[in-house]
A and B are shown apart, each in its own frame.
Chain A
Protein backbone atom coordinates (compact mmCIF):
# COMPACT_ATOMS: atom_id res chain seq x y z
CA UNK A 1 0.00 0.00 0.00
CA UNK A 2 2.09 2.77 -1.27
CA UNK A 3 -0.65 5.33 -0.70
CA UNK A 4 -2.98 5.70 2.22
CA UNK A 5 -5.73 8.16 2.81
CA UNK A 6 -4.93 10.06 5.93
CA UNK A 7 -8.60 10.52 6.74
CA UNK A 8 -10.11 7.09 6.43
CA UNK A 9 -7.04 4.98 6.12
CA UNK A 10 -7.95 3.41 2.82
CA UNK A 11 -4.96 2.26 0.90
CA UNK A 12 -4.25 2.39 -2.74
CA UNK A 13 -1.77 0.43 -4.75
CA UNK A 14 1.08 2.17 -6.40
CA UNK A 15 -0.06 3.61 -9.67
CA UNK A 16 -3.73 3.59 -8.71
CA UNK A 17 -5.83 6.16 -10.42
CA UNK A 18 -8.70 6.00 -8.00
CA UNK A 19 -7.20 8.55 -5.72
CA UNK A 20 -6.61 11.10 -8.44
CA UNK A 21 -9.91 12.75 -7.75
CA UNK A 22 -9.87 12.16 -4.04
CA UNK A 23 -10.53 9.23 -1.82
CA UNK A 24 -13.54 7.37 -3.18
CA UNK A 25 -14.69 6.54 0.33
CA UNK A 26 -14.39 9.71 2.30
CA UNK A 27 -13.47 12.28 -0.31
CA UNK A 28 -10.24 13.12 1.49
CA UNK A 29 -7.45 14.52 -0.54
CA UNK A 30 -4.56 13.88 1.76
CA UNK A 31 -2.55 10.76 1.37
CA UNK A 32 0.66 9.45 2.68
CA UNK A 33 3.06 7.51 0.64
CA UNK A 34 4.62 4.30 1.79
CA UNK A 35 6.86 2.63 -0.70
CA UNK A 36 6.23 -1.05 -0.95
CA UNK A 37 8.76 -3.20 0.88
CA UNK A 38 10.18 -0.26 2.82
CA UNK A 39 7.42 0.01 5.25
CA UNK A 40 9.38 -1.10 8.20
CA UNK A 41 12.43 0.86 7.29
CA UNK A 42 10.38 3.83 6.55
CA UNK A 43 8.85 3.68 9.94
CA UNK A 44 12.21 3.51 11.53
CA UNK A 45 13.54 6.41 9.61
CA UNK A 46 10.41 8.28 10.33
CA UNK A 47 11.09 8.00 13.98
CA UNK A 48 14.58 9.18 13.47
CA UNK A 49 13.74 12.12 11.32
CA UNK A 50 10.48 13.04 12.82
CA UNK A 51 11.46 16.00 14.85
CA UNK A 52 13.18 17.74 12.04
CA UNK A 53 10.51 16.99 9.56
CA UNK A 54 7.74 17.91 11.85
CA UNK A 55 9.01 21.39 12.29
CA UNK A 56 9.26 21.95 8.64
CA UNK A 57 6.07 20.38 7.56
CA UNK A 58 4.02 22.48 9.88
CA UNK A 59 4.76 25.32 7.53
CA UNK A 60 2.54 23.71 5.05
CA UNK A 61 -0.07 22.95 7.61
CA UNK A 62 0.40 19.28 7.23
CA UNK A 63 0.34 16.58 9.77
CA UNK A 64 3.00 13.99 9.70
CA UNK A 65 1.74 11.36 12.09
CA UNK A 66 4.30 8.78 12.73
CA UNK A 67 5.14 8.08 9.25
CA UNK A 68 7.93 9.26 7.43
CA UNK A 69 9.95 11.65 5.70
CA UNK A 70 7.32 11.74 3.08
CA UNK A 71 4.23 13.66 3.74
CA UNK A 72 2.09 14.16 0.80
CA UNK A 73 0.54 17.49 0.51
CA UNK A 74 -1.96 17.93 -2.18
CA UNK A 75 -4.35 20.44 -0.91
CA UNK A 76 -5.69 21.59 -4.16
CA UNK A 77 -4.56 19.02 -5.62
CA UNK A 78 -2.92 17.23 -8.08
CA UNK A 79 -2.84 13.89 -6.65
CA UNK A 80 0.48 12.25 -6.32
CA UNK A 81 1.79 10.22 -9.12
CA UNK A 82 2.53 6.99 -7.49
CA UNK A 83 3.77 5.36 -10.58
CA UNK A 84 6.38 7.79 -11.56
CA UNK A 85 7.70 9.54 -8.55
CA UNK A 86 10.21 8.50 -6.02
CA UNK A 87 9.31 9.57 -2.55
CA UNK A 88 11.48 12.61 -2.70
CA UNK A 89 9.79 14.06 -5.70
CA UNK A 90 6.16 14.08 -4.83
CA UNK A 91 5.40 17.74 -4.63
CA UNK A 92 7.47 20.85 -4.87
CA UNK A 93 6.97 21.57 -1.21
CA UNK A 94 7.91 18.13 -0.22
CA UNK A 95 10.88 18.31 -2.42
CA UNK A 96 12.07 21.47 -0.96
CA UNK A 97 11.36 20.75 2.62
CA UNK A 98 11.52 17.14 3.30
CA UNK A 99 13.17 15.04 0.73
CA UNK A 100 16.50 14.87 2.31
CA UNK A 101 18.73 12.07 3.13
CA UNK A 102 19.87 11.97 6.72
CA UNK A 103 23.23 13.37 5.68
CA UNK A 104 21.65 16.11 3.74
CA UNK A 105 19.46 16.92 6.67
CA UNK A 106 22.42 17.00 8.90
CA UNK A 107 24.36 19.38 6.77
CA UNK A 108 21.31 21.41 6.20
CA UNK A 109 20.71 21.71 9.88
CA UNK A 110 24.26 22.81 10.32
CA UNK A 111 23.74 25.44 7.72
CA UNK A 112 20.63 26.48 9.46
CA UNK A 113 22.39 26.63 12.79
CA UNK A 114 25.23 28.67 11.33
CA UNK A 115 22.90 30.96 9.59
CA UNK A 116 20.86 31.35 12.71
CA UNK A 117 23.88 32.31 14.77
CA UNK A 118 25.01 34.71 12.14
CA UNK A 119 21.62 36.21 11.91
CA UNK A 120 21.46 36.73 15.62
CA UNK A 121 24.77 38.50 15.64
CA UNK A 122 23.88 40.62 12.68
CA UNK A 123 20.45 41.32 13.94
CA UNK A 124 21.77 42.46 17.29
CA UNK A 125 24.37 44.60 15.59
CA UNK A 126 21.76 46.21 13.45
CA UNK A 127 19.04 46.62 15.96
CA UNK A 128 20.67 47.04 19.35
CA UNK A 129 21.60 50.51 20.45
CA UNK A 130 24.57 51.02 22.74
CA UNK A 131 23.62 52.90 25.82
CA UNK A 132 25.60 56.00 26.85
CA UNK A 133 26.71 54.20 29.96
CA UNK A 134 28.24 51.47 27.90
CA UNK A 135 30.01 54.01 25.76
CA UNK A 136 31.46 55.76 28.80
CA UNK A 137 32.53 52.49 30.22
CA UNK A 138 34.13 51.45 26.96
CA UNK A 139 36.07 54.69 26.67
CA UNK A 140 37.23 54.38 30.25
CA UNK A 141 38.38 50.89 29.55
CA UNK A 142 40.40 52.09 26.58
CA UNK A 143 41.94 54.89 28.57
CA UNK A 144 42.74 52.73 31.51
CA UNK A 145 44.12 50.02 29.29
CA UNK A 146 46.28 52.17 27.10
CA UNK A 147 48.90 53.34 29.61
CA UNK A 148 49.68 49.82 30.67
CA UNK A 149 49.27 48.27 27.31
CA UNK A 150 51.19 50.61 25.08
CA UNK A 151 54.76 51.70 25.29
CA UNK A 152 54.30 54.98 23.45
CA UNK A 153 52.13 56.26 26.23
CA UNK A 154 54.43 55.18 28.98
CA UNK A 155 57.37 56.65 27.14
CA UNK A 156 55.27 59.74 26.53
CA UNK A 157 54.95 60.43 30.24
CA UNK A 158 58.18 62.37 30.49
CA UNK A 159 56.96 64.45 27.59
CA UNK A 160 53.64 64.93 29.25
CA UNK A 161 54.26 68.44 30.51
CA UNK A 162 55.52 69.65 27.15
CA UNK A 163 52.26 69.43 25.27
CA UNK A 164 50.63 71.18 28.18
CA UNK A 165 53.05 74.06 27.98
CA UNK A 166 52.67 74.19 24.23
CA UNK A 167 48.93 74.20 24.57
CA UNK A 168 49.16 76.91 27.17
CA UNK A 169 51.44 78.90 24.91
CA UNK A 170 49.06 78.55 22.00
CA UNK A 171 46.19 79.53 24.20
CA UNK A 172 48.04 82.58 25.42
CA UNK A 173 48.97 83.54 21.92
CA UNK A 174 45.37 83.37 20.90
CA UNK A 175 44.26 85.39 23.88
CA UNK A 176 47.03 87.93 23.73
CA UNK A 177 48.23 87.99 20.19
CA UNK A 178 50.27 91.14 20.72
CA UNK A 179 53.12 88.95 21.97
CA UNK A 180 53.76 85.57 20.43
CA UNK A 181 55.99 83.29 22.42
CA UNK A 182 57.77 81.34 19.74
CA UNK A 183 59.91 79.44 22.22
CA UNK A 184 61.52 80.25 25.56
CA UNK A 185 63.51 83.42 25.05
CA UNK A 186 62.12 84.02 21.59
CA UNK A 187 59.26 86.41 21.06
CA UNK A 188 57.40 88.07 18.25
CA UNK A 189 55.60 91.28 18.96
CA UNK A 190 52.66 92.85 17.25
CA UNK A 191 53.35 96.52 17.90
CA UNK A 192 49.96 97.72 16.77
CA UNK A 193 48.24 95.29 19.07
CA UNK A 194 50.44 96.37 21.94
CA UNK A 195 49.67 99.95 21.18
CA UNK A 196 45.95 99.47 20.73
CA UNK A 197 45.41 97.58 23.93
CA UNK A 198 44.45 99.50 26.99
CA UNK A 199 46.03 96.95 29.28
CA UNK A 200 49.68 96.18 28.92
CA UNK A 201 51.96 93.39 29.99
CA UNK A 202 53.87 94.13 33.14
CA UNK A 203 55.79 90.91 33.26
CA UNK A 204 56.04 87.64 31.40
CA UNK A 205 56.51 84.51 33.44
CA UNK A 206 58.74 81.67 32.43
CA UNK A 207 55.87 79.23 32.32
CA UNK A 208 54.12 81.30 29.69
CA UNK A 209 51.93 83.26 32.08
CA UNK A 210 51.94 86.99 32.20
CA UNK A 211 50.81 89.81 34.38
CA UNK A 212 48.91 92.67 32.91
CA UNK A 213 47.86 95.98 34.28
CA UNK A 214 44.19 96.51 33.81
CA UNK A 215 43.24 99.96 32.68
CA UNK A 216 41.49 102.11 35.18
CA UNK A 217 38.36 103.72 33.89
CA UNK A 218 39.42 107.31 34.37
CA UNK A 219 43.18 107.22 34.59
CA UNK A 220 43.51 106.95 38.36
CA UNK A 221 46.18 104.33 37.73
CA UNK A 222 48.56 107.12 36.85
CA UNK A 223 49.01 107.78 40.50
Chain B
Protein backbone atom coordinates (compact mmCIF):
# COMPACT_ATOMS: atom_id res chain seq x y z
CA UNK B 1 0.00 0.00 0.00
CA UNK B 2 2.62 2.42 -0.93
CA UNK B 3 2.83 5.34 -3.26
CA UNK B 4 3.87 3.00 -6.04
CA UNK B 5 0.76 0.91 -5.58
CA UNK B 6 -1.51 3.91 -5.70
CA UNK B 7 0.28 5.11 -8.81
CA UNK B 8 -0.14 1.70 -10.36
CA UNK B 9 -3.85 1.66 -9.56
CA UNK B 10 -4.32 5.11 -11.00
CA UNK B 11 -2.52 4.24 -14.21
CA UNK B 12 -4.37 0.97 -14.63
CA UNK B 13 -7.69 2.70 -14.13
CA UNK B 14 -6.83 5.33 -16.71
CA UNK B 15 -5.72 2.72 -19.23
CA UNK B 16 -8.79 0.63 -18.46
CA UNK B 17 -10.91 3.66 -19.13
CA UNK B 18 -9.27 4.22 -22.50
CA UNK B 19 -10.31 0.77 -23.67
CA UNK B 20 -13.61 0.65 -21.88
CA UNK B 21 -15.63 0.70 -25.03
CA UNK B 22 -13.91 -2.39 -26.36
CA UNK B 23 -13.54 -4.58 -23.31
CA UNK B 24 -16.43 -6.03 -21.35
CA UNK B 25 -16.67 -4.84 -17.79
CA UNK B 26 -16.18 -7.28 -15.02
CA UNK B 27 -19.14 -7.23 -12.74
CA UNK B 28 -18.64 -8.95 -9.45
CA UNK B 29 -21.62 -10.54 -7.77
CA UNK B 30 -21.00 -10.05 -4.07
CA UNK B 31 -22.86 -10.66 -0.87
CA UNK B 32 -22.99 -12.81 2.25
CA UNK B 33 -23.23 -16.59 1.99
CA UNK B 34 -26.52 -18.08 0.88
CA UNK B 35 -27.89 -14.80 -0.47
CA UNK B 36 -28.49 -16.36 -3.89
CA UNK B 37 -25.47 -15.06 -5.79
CA UNK B 38 -24.87 -18.20 -7.81
CA UNK B 39 -28.55 -18.58 -8.50
CA UNK B 40 -28.57 -15.05 -9.92
CA UNK B 41 -25.37 -15.63 -11.90
CA UNK B 42 -26.83 -18.78 -13.38
CA UNK B 43 -30.07 -16.97 -14.16
CA UNK B 44 -28.25 -14.21 -16.01
CA UNK B 45 -25.93 -16.61 -17.81
CA UNK B 46 -28.73 -18.93 -18.85
CA UNK B 47 -30.90 -16.08 -19.99
CA UNK B 48 -28.21 -14.60 -22.23
CA UNK B 49 -25.78 -17.38 -23.04
CA UNK B 50 -27.60 -20.62 -22.35
CA UNK B 51 -24.88 -21.83 -19.98
CA UNK B 52 -24.70 -21.93 -16.23
CA UNK B 53 -21.94 -20.50 -14.08
CA UNK B 54 -21.83 -22.99 -11.26
CA UNK B 55 -23.76 -25.34 -9.03
CA UNK B 56 -26.31 -23.93 -6.63
CA UNK B 57 -26.89 -25.27 -3.16
CA UNK B 58 -28.76 -24.48 -0.01
CA UNK B 59 -25.62 -25.35 1.91
CA UNK B 60 -23.61 -22.20 2.62
CA UNK B 61 -20.29 -21.69 0.88
CA UNK B 62 -21.15 -23.85 -2.08
CA UNK B 63 -19.18 -21.40 -4.18
CA UNK B 64 -15.66 -21.47 -2.85
CA UNK B 65 -13.85 -20.19 -5.89
CA UNK B 66 -14.74 -17.19 -7.95
CA UNK B 67 -16.22 -18.26 -11.26
CA UNK B 68 -16.31 -16.09 -14.26
CA UNK B 69 -18.69 -16.13 -17.16
CA UNK B 70 -17.30 -13.99 -19.92
CA UNK B 71 -18.92 -12.00 -22.68
CA UNK B 72 -22.45 -12.03 -21.45
CA UNK B 73 -24.30 -9.78 -23.86
CA UNK B 74 -27.35 -8.14 -22.40
CA UNK B 75 -29.60 -6.27 -24.79
CA UNK B 76 -31.88 -3.65 -23.39
CA UNK B 77 -33.91 -1.04 -25.22
CA UNK B 78 -31.96 -1.55 -28.42
CA UNK B 79 -28.64 -1.21 -26.62
CA UNK B 80 -26.12 -4.00 -26.05
CA UNK B 81 -24.02 -4.27 -22.95
CA UNK B 82 -21.31 -6.88 -22.72
CA UNK B 83 -20.14 -7.89 -19.24
CA UNK B 84 -18.10 -10.57 -17.58
CA UNK B 85 -19.95 -11.99 -14.64
CA UNK B 86 -17.81 -12.97 -11.67
CA UNK B 87 -19.66 -15.10 -9.17
CA UNK B 88 -17.76 -14.80 -5.90
CA UNK B 89 -17.81 -16.86 -2.71
CA UNK B 90 -19.97 -15.51 0.05
CA UNK B 91 -18.15 -13.03 2.23
CA UNK B 92 -18.18 -13.54 5.95
CA UNK B 93 -16.02 -12.82 8.98
CA UNK B 94 -16.31 -16.29 10.49
CA UNK B 95 -16.23 -19.73 8.99
CA UNK B 96 -16.93 -22.72 11.18
CA UNK B 97 -17.06 -26.28 9.90
CA UNK B 98 -19.74 -27.11 12.46
CA UNK B 99 -22.36 -25.26 10.46
CA UNK B 100 -21.84 -27.80 7.68
CA UNK B 101 -22.34 -30.76 9.98
CA UNK B 102 -26.04 -29.93 10.06
CA UNK B 103 -26.19 -30.72 6.37
CA UNK B 104 -25.27 -34.38 6.73
CA UNK B 105 -21.64 -33.75 6.05
CA UNK B 106 -18.78 -35.73 7.52
CA UNK B 107 -16.44 -33.85 9.79
CA UNK B 108 -13.46 -34.14 7.48
CA UNK B 109 -15.50 -32.88 4.56
CA UNK B 110 -16.88 -30.07 6.68
CA UNK B 111 -13.41 -29.00 7.74
CA UNK B 112 -12.18 -29.08 4.17
CA UNK B 113 -15.18 -27.10 3.02
CA UNK B 114 -14.54 -24.58 5.76
CA UNK B 115 -10.96 -24.15 4.68
CA UNK B 116 -11.92 -23.75 1.06
CA UNK B 117 -14.62 -21.28 1.99
CA UNK B 118 -12.05 -19.22 3.83
CA UNK B 119 -9.83 -19.25 0.81
CA UNK B 120 -12.85 -18.20 -1.21
CA UNK B 121 -13.46 -15.17 0.96
CA UNK B 122 -9.84 -14.16 0.57
CA UNK B 123 -10.17 -14.52 -3.17
CA UNK B 124 -13.41 -12.55 -3.25
CA UNK B 125 -11.79 -9.70 -1.37
CA UNK B 126 -8.87 -9.81 -3.74
CA UNK B 127 -11.15 -9.61 -6.74
CA UNK B 128 -12.95 -6.67 -5.20
CA UNK B 129 -9.68 -4.87 -4.85
CA UNK B 130 -8.14 -5.68 -8.18
CA UNK B 131 -10.44 -7.05 -10.77
CA UNK B 132 -13.98 -5.73 -10.84
CA UNK B 133 -15.40 -2.70 -12.55
CA UNK B 134 -18.80 -2.83 -10.91
CA UNK B 135 -20.67 -4.74 -8.22
CA UNK B 136 -24.03 -6.43 -8.00
CA UNK B 137 -24.58 -6.79 -4.29
CA UNK B 138 -27.04 -9.55 -3.50
CA UNK B 139 -28.86 -9.70 -0.18
CA UNK B 140 -31.34 -12.17 1.19
CA UNK B 141 -34.39 -10.01 1.83
CA UNK B 142 -35.58 -12.36 4.54
CA UNK B 143 -32.59 -11.58 6.76
CA UNK B 144 -31.38 -8.52 8.60
CA UNK B 145 -29.13 -6.49 6.29
CA UNK B 146 -27.52 -4.55 9.14
CA UNK B 147 -24.44 -6.70 9.46
CA UNK B 148 -20.78 -5.94 9.77
CA UNK B 149 -20.02 -7.69 6.52
CA UNK B 150 -22.63 -5.78 4.54
CA UNK B 151 -21.64 -2.46 6.00
CA UNK B 152 -17.97 -3.09 5.40
CA UNK B 153 -18.34 -4.32 1.85
CA UNK B 154 -20.68 -1.56 0.81
CA UNK B 155 -18.25 0.89 2.36
CA UNK B 156 -15.36 -0.57 0.39
CA UNK B 157 -17.35 -0.47 -2.81
CA UNK B 158 -18.25 3.14 -2.22
CA UNK B 159 -14.67 4.03 -1.40
CA UNK B 160 -13.63 2.54 -4.74
CA UNK B 161 -16.24 4.57 -6.57
CA UNK B 162 -17.47 1.38 -8.16
CA UNK B 163 -20.98 1.39 -9.60
CA UNK B 164 -23.11 -0.80 -7.36
CA UNK B 165 -26.54 -2.30 -7.74
CA UNK B 166 -28.19 -3.70 -4.64
CA UNK B 167 -30.58 -6.59 -5.18
CA UNK B 168 -33.05 -7.73 -2.56
CA UNK B 169 -33.29 -11.41 -3.41
CA UNK B 170 -35.70 -14.15 -2.34
CA UNK B 171 -38.83 -12.07 -2.66
CA UNK B 172 -40.66 -15.33 -3.25
CA UNK B 173 -40.17 -16.25 0.39
CA UNK B 174 -42.75 -15.25 2.98
CA UNK B 175 -40.39 -13.34 5.26
CA UNK B 176 -39.04 -11.12 2.53
CA UNK B 177 -38.66 -7.45 3.49
CA UNK B 178 -37.27 -5.36 0.65
CA UNK B 179 -37.90 -2.09 2.43
CA UNK B 180 -35.60 -3.09 5.24
CA UNK B 181 -32.77 -3.37 2.74
CA UNK B 182 -33.66 -0.10 1.12
CA UNK B 183 -33.57 1.52 4.53
CA UNK B 184 -30.21 0.01 5.30
CA UNK B 185 -28.56 1.45 2.20
CA UNK B 186 -30.56 4.50 1.24
CA UNK B 187 -27.73 5.89 -0.85
CA UNK B 188 -28.21 3.05 -3.34
CA UNK B 189 -31.09 1.89 -5.43
CA UNK B 190 -32.52 -1.42 -4.25
CA UNK B 191 -34.09 -3.78 -6.77
CA UNK B 192 -36.32 -6.63 -5.55
CA UNK B 193 -36.16 -9.97 -7.30
CA UNK B 194 -36.35 -13.69 -6.99
CA UNK B 195 -33.46 -15.16 -8.88
CA UNK B 196 -34.79 -18.63 -8.23
CA UNK B 197 -38.23 -17.89 -9.69
CA UNK B 198 -37.04 -15.36 -12.23
CA UNK B 199 -39.28 -12.66 -10.80
CA UNK B 200 -38.53 -9.03 -11.74
CA UNK B 201 -35.54 -10.00 -13.86
CA UNK B 202 -36.50 -7.50 -16.53
CA UNK B 203 -35.92 -4.63 -14.17
CA UNK B 204 -32.67 -6.22 -13.08
CA UNK B 205 -31.37 -6.35 -16.65
CA UNK B 206 -32.46 -2.81 -17.28
CA UNK B 207 -30.57 -1.62 -14.27
CA UNK B 208 -27.51 -3.68 -15.23
CA UNK B 209 -27.45 -2.03 -18.62
CA UNK B 210 -27.93 1.35 -17.02
CA UNK B 211 -25.32 0.97 -14.36
CA UNK B 212 -22.65 -0.97 -16.21
CA UNK B 213 -23.21 -0.10 -19.83
Whether A191 contacts B149 by the Cβ 8 Å rule is: yes
Q: Please name all residues of chain B whose beta carbon is closer than 8 Å to the beta carbon of A190 when the two chains form the complex.
A: 93
B58 within 8 A of A: no
A-B contact pairs, 25 of them (CB 8 A): A185-B114, A186-B96, A187-B118, A189-B92, A189-B95, A189-B118, A191-B93, A191-B149, A192-B156, A194-B126, A195-B125, A195-B128, A198-B1, A198-B5, A200-B122, A201-B122, A201-B123, A202-B119, A202-B123, A204-B119, A206-B115, A217-B4, A218-B8, A219-B8, A219-B12
Nearest-CB residue, chain A, relative to B95: A187
Bound Cα distance A157, B156 (Å): 48
Which residues in window 124-182 of B have CB below 8 A to A?
125-126, 128-129, 131, 149, 152-153, 156
Contact with A along B1-25 (1 / 0, CB 8 A): 1001100100010000000000000
**Chain B: residues with CB nearer than 8 A to chain A?**
1, 4-5, 8, 12, 91-98, 107, 110-111, 114-115, 118-119, 121-123, 125-126, 128-129, 131, 149, 152-153, 156
Whether A184 contacts B111 by the Cβ 8 Å rule is: yes
Residues of chain A at interface, number, CB under 8 A:
25
Q: Please name all residues of chain B whose beta carbon is closer than 8 Å to the beta carbon of A222 when the two chains form the complex.
A: 131
A155 within 8 A of B: no
Whether B119 contacts A201 by the Cβ 8 Å rule is: yes
Q: Please name all residues of chain B whose beta carbon is closer than 8 Å to the beta carbon of A184 when the two chains form the complex.
A: 97, 111
A203 within 8 A of B: yes
A54 within 8 A of B: no
Whether B111 contacts A185 by the Cβ 8 Å rule is: yes
A179 within 8 A of B: yes
**Chain A: residues with CB nearer than 8 A to chain B?**
178-179, 184-192, 194-196, 198, 200-204, 206, 217-219, 222
Apart from A194-B121, A201-B123, what 8 extra A-B contacts exist at CB < 8 Å? A185-B96, A187-B96, A187-B114, A189-B121, A189-B122, A194-B126, A198-B5, A200-B126
Bound Cα distance A186, B112 (Å): 10
Q: Please name all residues of chain B whose beta carbon is closer than 8 Å to the beta carbon of A219 when the two chains form the complex.
A: 8, 12
Whether B94 contacts A187 by the Cβ 8 Å rule is: yes
Given contacts A179-B118, A187-B94, A189-B93, contact A200 B123 (CB under 8 A): yes
Whether B152 contacts A191 by the Cβ 8 Å rule is: yes
Would you list the 10 A-B pairs with minimal beta carbon distance, nearest first?
Answer: A185-B97, A185-B111, A200-B126, A194-B125, A201-B122, A185-B114, A187-B118, A187-B95, A195-B125, A186-B96
